[in-house]
Amino acid sequence: MRLKLTREGYVKLQQEVQYLRTKKRKEVIQAIAKARELGDLRENAEYECAKREQQMLEKRIAELEATLSSVTILEDDQIDTTKAYLGTTVTIYDSINKKELRYVLVNKEEANLSEGKISIDSPVGKNLLGKTVGSEIEITIPAGTLRYKILNIGK
Domains in the chain: ranges and CATH = 3-74 (1.10.287.180), 79-154 (3.10.50.30)
Burial of 81 (0-12, 13-18, 19+ CB in 10 A): middle
Q: What is the pLDDT of residues 11-43, one digit of tens each?
A: 999 999 999 999 999 999 999 898 888 776 667
pTM of the entire predicted model: 0.71
Q: pLDDT digit string (tens) for 127-137?
A: 999 999 999 99
Question: 114 near 99, Cβ under 8 Å?
Answer: no
Write out the DSSP string of 53-79.
HHHHHHHHHHHHHHHHHTEEEE-GGG-
Using DSSP, state whether 91 is helix, strand or coil.
strand
